[in-house]
Amino acid sequence: MNRLLFFALVCCCLSANAQKLSYGIVIGGNLYNDQSSNSGPNEVFFDSGNDKFITPVFGLYGEYQLVKHMGVKIEGIIHGQEFIKGFSNRDLDEKYKFTFVDINPSFKYDFGEYRSGFYLQLGPKVAFMTKAELEGNDVKNQFKAVHLGGVFGFGWRVLKYVDIQAKADAGLSPFYKDDHSSCKIFNLYLTLNVDVARIFASK
């Protein structure tokens, strides 16, 4: 599934007008936690704990300029997360390991020449859960296959081919299968976006 999503993203990028197109790789880190970590009585929560709440992020992006300062950007990233399950403010000592593939289409506004300076991003995120394990056992049936988020970010082209980008991603729908669950994931991403299209065009 991961390869299929990334392949579709690349195909969409390559079919666009090359002069207004940018595509490349995404690499960085993700700081995360469950937005319901301070749950009340009789409520399930998932805590990232203190051991591993920053994980690596890898992916691809495609970008297309619409007008002078505006464009659209889509990112597809893969990352892992670990949560400790709790109930009624009590740790149950059950460590879950997840892998997600996130698709984030967004509108992008550049304050100067497009793809040359500071910019803002805003858009939705669709997260596909591809792995959920507890002590090596598959427990994906306990969780929702897809959950949604809202993303706001900003970035800066610091080098000819490289952007530094920061994004905040607030969960809009729960990832745990429970009618009364409020378990939504909050993410902070700090990544480098390497403009492979411009590297190829310069040769």
For residue range 130-150, what is the model confidence (pLDDT) as tens digits? 999 998 899 999 999 999 999
d(CA 118, CA 127): 27
Give domain limits for the chain: 2-201
Fold exhibited by the domain 2-201: Porin (2.40.160)
Across all residues in the chain, what is the average pLDDT? 85
Beta bridge partners of 203: none
Q: How many CA atoms lie within 13 A of 105 on its CB side?
A: 5
Q: For 7, which DSSP code?
A: H
1, pLDDT greater than 70: no
**Residue 12 backbone phi and psi in degrees, to 5:** -65, -40
The residue that leads in pLDDT, 130 or 38, is 130
Q: What percent of the chain has pLDDT over 90?
A: 51
pLDDT category at 87 given cuts 50, 70, 90 is confident
